[in-house]
Every structure is written in structure tokens, then in C-alpha cells.
């Protein structure tokens, strides 16, 4: 059930930032400007903005950590920069803790905070770049864990009405790398806080094969959440480039889910194709393997490229434009389609 709490609209003077360089706010590092920008540090800022909506540009865009987006053109209208901070303890007992976290907090430092304090549930999601507010939108996942498993509810402000709206976990309609917030009708909701329920007596999740192998290599048979975090960081660093050094947004494409019958047909032509069972009839096919099989791993054209250690990652080696990266990514997925009859869905949002 969606809970609506009507709020008084506060009227305050403010000014927009014209022709604002948002390149530093994105991990791809492609030069991008917003027609107008406005930092949001509190719900009051949003209420003020909505109360002056008649004076605002008609198009609004919300930008958090910029870690899951590729800009191929300047941003029209008004860009809202998410800068709501803070970690608040709503509840704590011997078994669990409930944390209310500002949408503008960086995700990995929050994971570090949780692991340092013995709060389990997010350690497998270590070293994912971006902001807390983006985690429910994408339903981020890694190494056998999805963030939806620990989200209690999401607090938002409706940019059309100015109302505060809280979405329960069920309201969020989480799926594989998706949620209700990715649908056009719900992009009007500005996420202000995310509330997580974490365990103080955590059962670590080591179901993911590469994580199991890495822990076994270290002779860690009973891992702690700190062991899992360290190992996940090492695994990610071995495959993924640091955005501070090579522009990227992590995995550019989603893994592919197919029926058991379709996969059986694929195996006839490609007997070495890897797979993972999701349900009795649904098979996950690693997109990285498909891309590498088609010969794209390590490919570079100018400063746009496919990362040589993880072909799921499109990269900017320095001066690539967003359109350069987008064009190359389209050639990659067209190649996969022509070879396997599988269409790669983007994990990254393209503007």
C-alpha cells in the first residue's frame, strides 16, 4: 500500500544554476551540461521547488551518483542534483537494525559503515559505485544478493503534487535490475531516503560460484561479513575499472534470461555456452560470455571501448563522447543478436 502524507509547501527564494557542468557527477566522464541545475539537500528544497513549478522549466531530470547513466547529449530543462545526507537509526535490538539513509549518501561507504558495525545484508554489494537513492531504482545486485532483500521502504516526494509518498517493499515491485521507479509513470517521484533492515546476527551468502571459489582459495571456510566484503572488492577490482581512472558505469548490459527449451536449442549450436538455473524453466546466460564469443572483448575504437577484463563493461578511455560509446554498444548487441538470436538489454540508462 502506498502511504501519502500531505505536507505544507514552504515558499523560499532560490536560484537555478544555468549551463551547469555535470561531468564530475557521472562515472562515464563524458562532457555533459545541464541547461539548469538545482541541488536538493532536503525535502524542504523539493517542496519549495514544487511550489514554484509554474516558474520552472517544463522538463525535470533527477541525477544522483551518475554511476548508471550514459549522457549522449546535453540535459534539457532542470536537473535536480541529489544531495540529501545522513544515516539515522530508526530501530535496533539484539537481532537487527533499521537504518534510514539519505539518498545522496554514496553507496559503498554506507556498505563499509554497515560491515564495520556488524550489520549484515549488503556486504555482497560492496564496491558498487553510485548513491543510496539509486539502489531501489535499479534493484542493484551482485554475487547472489539483491538490495531489495534488505529494503524496508522508500521515502519520496511527488514532484507533481509536493506530497511525501512512502513505498513499501511490495509497492516497489522489485524485479531483476528493475523496480516501479523505472517506469515512466513513477519517474516523477524523487527518492529522498531509503530504509534498510539489516541483521546483527548475519548469515553470509556465499552461493555465488566465483565468491565461493575465491573464499576457498583463501582457506576461509566460515566467512564473516568482513571476509565477504574484502573478497567481493578484490573480485570486482580484478575485473572492473576504477571510474576515477577509466570512465565507465559498471555492467552496461544485463544477463539474458531464456526458457529451458530455447537454451536447449542454443546448446545444439553452441555446446560450451554457460548457464545458471533461475527457476525450473528459466535459464540465465552470461552476457559477458556472449560478447566475448562475438570477439568484442578488449575492442577499442578511438577512446570508446569494451573492457578487456570484463566485456560487460563499456569504457571511456579519455575523450570519448557519449554518442561514441552508445554507437559502439549498439554494434555489440547487434552482433550478439545476429550470432545467438539474443537481444541484450541495457543495464545503463541512456539519455
> Is 221 part of the annotated catalytic residue set?
no
Residue 276 maps to a domain: yes
Query: What pLDDT does residue 53 have?
Result: 82
Residue 62 maps to a domain: no
Residue 39 maps to a domain: no
Q: Which residues, 6+ apart, have CB-to-CB distance to 101 below 8 Å?
A: 86, 87, 88, 110, 132, 193, 194, 195, 196
- Res. 130: pLDDT tops 90: yes
Q: How far is CA 72 from the centre of its chain?
A: 19
- Res. 41: pLDDT tops 60: yes
> Is 301 part of the annotated catalytic residue set?
no
DSSP assignment letter at 17: E
Joined together, the cell numbers standing for residue 275 give 548457464
- Res. 52: pLDDT tops 70: yes
DSSP assignment letter at 46: H
Name the pLDDT band for 302 (thresholds 50, 70, 90). very high
Total of domains in the chain = 1
Residue 257 maps to a domain: yes
Catalytic: which of 100, 177, 230, 236?
A: 177
Cα–Cα dist 82/26, whole Å: 13
Cα–Cα dist 314/297, whole Å: 10
Q: How far is CA 301 from the centre of its chain?
A: 26
> Is 259 part of the annotated catalytic residue set?
no
Query: What pLDDT does residue 143 have?
Result: 96
Q: How many CB atoms lie within 10 A of CB 279?
A: 9
Helix H, strand E, coil C: the string for 226-283 is HHHHHHHHHHHHHHCCCCCCCEEEEECECCEEEEHHHHHHHHHHCCCCCCEECCCCEE
Catalytic: which of 251, 329, 333, 346?
A: 251
Query: What pLDDT does residue 247 have?
Result: 97
CA distance to 56, 62, 79, 244, per residue, from 59 (Å): 8, 10, 9, 30
DSSP notation for 136-169 = HHHT-EETTEEGGGTEEEEEEEETTT--EEEEET
Q: Which residues, 6+ apart, have CB-to-CB distance to 297 below 8 Å?
A: 291, 306, 308, 311
Catalytic: which of 43, 105, 123, 347?
A: 347
Which residues lie across from 4 on neighbouring strands? 165
Joined together, the cell numbers standing for residue 328 give 559502439
Tell me the residue range of the domain where 301 lies.
247-350
Residue 304 maps to a domain: yes
Q: Which residues, 6+ apart, have CB-to-CB distance to 37 below 8 Å?
A: 16, 17, 20, 22, 78, 79, 80, 81
For residue 313, what is the domain's CATH number? 3.90.78.10
- Res. 5: pLDDT tops 70: no
* Model pLDDT for residues 308-320, shown as the tens digit of each residue: 999 999 999 999 9
Residue 325 maps to a domain: yes
Residue 92 maps to a domain: no
Residue 307 maps to a domain: yes
- Res. 2: pLDDT tops 90: no
* Model pLDDT for residues 143-195, shown as the tens digit of each residue: 999 999 999 999 999 999 999 999 999 999 999 899 999 998 898 999 999 99
- Res. 6: pLDDT tops 80: no
Amino acid at each position: 500500500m502506498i502511504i501519502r502524507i500531505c505536507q505544507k509547501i514552504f515558499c523560499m527564494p532560490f536560484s537555478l544554476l544555468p549551463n551547469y557542468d555535470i561531468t564530475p557527477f557521472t562515472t562515464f566522464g563524458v562532457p555533459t551540461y545541464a541547461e539548469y541545475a538545482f541541488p536538493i539537500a532536503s525535502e524542504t528544497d523539493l517542496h519549495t521547488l514544487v511550489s514554484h513549478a509554474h516558474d520552472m522549466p517544463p522538463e525535470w531530470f533527477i541525477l544522483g551518483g551518475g554511476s548508471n547513466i550514459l549522457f549522449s547529449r546535453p540535459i534539457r530543462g532542470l536537473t535536480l542534483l541529489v544531495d540529501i545526507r545522513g544515516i539515522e537509526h530508526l530501530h535496533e535490538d539484539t537481532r537487527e537494525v533499521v537504518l534510514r539513509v539519505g539518498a545522496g549518501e554514496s553507496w559503498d561507504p554506507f556498505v563499509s559503515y554497515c560491515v564495520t558495525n556488524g550489520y549484515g545484508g549488503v556486504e555482497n554489494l560492496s564496491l558498487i559505485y553510485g548513491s543510496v537513492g539509486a539502489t531501489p531504482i535499479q534493484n542493484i545486485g551482485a554475487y547472489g544478493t539483491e538490495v531489495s532483500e534488505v529494503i524496508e521502504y522508500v521515502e519520496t516526494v511527488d514532484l507533481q503534487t509536493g506530497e511525501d509518498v512512502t513505498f513499501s517493499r511490495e509497492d516497489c515491485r522489485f524485479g531483476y535490475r528493475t523496480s516501479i521507479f523505472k517506469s515512466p509513470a513513477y519517474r516523477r517521484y524523487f527518492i529522498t531516503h531509503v530504509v534498510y533492515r539489516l541483521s546483527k546476527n548475519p548469515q553470509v551468502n556465499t552461493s555465488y560460484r566465483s565468491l565461493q571459489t575465491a573464499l576457498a582459495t583463501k582457506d576461509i571456510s566460515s566467512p564473516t561479513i568482513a571476509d565477504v566484503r574484502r573478497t567481493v572488492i578484490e573480485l570486482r577490482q580484478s575485473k572492473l575499472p576504477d571510474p576515477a581512472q577509466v570512465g565507465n558505469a559498471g555492467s552496461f548490459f544485463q544477463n539474458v534470461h531464456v526458457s529451458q527449451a530455447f537454451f536447449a536449442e542454443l546448446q545444439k549450436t553452441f555446446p560450451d555456452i554457460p548457464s545458471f538455473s533461475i527457476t525450473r524453466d528459466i535459464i540465465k546466460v552470461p552476457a559477458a560470455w556472449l560478447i566475448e564469443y562475438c570477439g568484442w572483448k578488449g575492442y577499442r575504437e578511438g577512446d570508446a571501448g569494451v573492457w578487456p577484463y570484463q566485456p560487460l563493461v563499456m569504457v571511456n578511455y579519455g575523450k570519448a563522447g557519449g554518442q561514441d560509446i552508445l554507437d559502439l554498444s549498439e554494434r555489440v548487441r547487434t552482433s550478439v543478436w545476429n550470432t545467438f538470436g539474443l537481444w541484450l538489454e541495457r543495464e545503463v540508462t541512456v539519455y
